[in-house]
Amino acid sequence: MQMKLVPGNSAGTVTTLYLKSPGTTWDEIDFEFLGNLSGDPYTLHTNVYTQGKGDKEQQFKLWFDPTADFHTYTIIWNPQRIIFTVDGTPIREFKNMESVGTLFPKNQPMRMYSSLWNADDWATRGGLVKTDWSKAPFTASYRGFNQEACVWSNGKSSCPNGSGQGTTGSWLSQELDSTAQERMRWVQKNYMIYNYCTDTKRFPQGLPKECFAA
């Protein structure tokens, strides 16, 4: 999806692109853009939920102004991994680590959603900065939606035997090569501002197992 975010004072707003399944034990993969005061950068918030359990947040600043033009945000989701990319540059990889007991969303079909909503109880500086409704309407723009997917209908997948759709189906087994891994490390070194895997205060009894897995 190509997106152009709310310009100016966007504090308190959240612009989203996400996948989610229904129910109380839902799966979810999130791109959430947390607005900020004029002149301050957006926070890109990513998260993964499996069976209603999340707490897998990583947050980033972007290396460009996401309100000035459209940029492409992509979620690659297959049985082995989830990859978040911005203009083709990977920023995060969440691997299937079921082997160490980490839940991974691969058993429920999900729909894609986009939204713009008010979350001034937490979105900007932990809720300290509220939405200035005198700046309304807040407008984000979307275009160029494209998907390659297995479509779930009447209890069956459109992908026979798990094979991919489209011209190659490569997304179903896509992984990061060495060049992409190097680019992701560059983003995480220079633009990551929060990683649940380093938050020892949040997990005083020990970080999640997947944080130590190769």
Q: What is the DSSP letter of 164?
A: -
- Of 32, 57, 175, 182, which one is the catalytic site residue? 32
Cα 56-62-143 angle, rounded to 5 deg = 90
Tokens of 176: 């990061």
DSSP, residue by residue, 174-193: ----HHHHHHHHHHHHHHEE
Q: Hunting for tokens 């005061």 — which residue is that?
A: 37
| Core vs surface per residue 96-131: b (16+ CB within 10 A) or e | bbeeeebbbbeebebeeeeebeebbeebbeeeebeb
Q: Is 175 a catalytic residue?
A: no
Backbone angles phi, psi at 186, to 5 degrees: -60, -45
Which residue among the candidates 28, 57, 93, 175 is catalytic per the annotation? 28
Contacts of 205 (CB under 8 A, 6+ apart): none
148 is catalytic: no
Handedness of CA 44, 46, 52, 55 (dihedral sign): negative
For the chain, how long is the longest CA-to-CA vector?
54
Tokens of 52: 């209603």
List the structure tokens of 58.
């990583």
Residues designated as active site: 28, 32
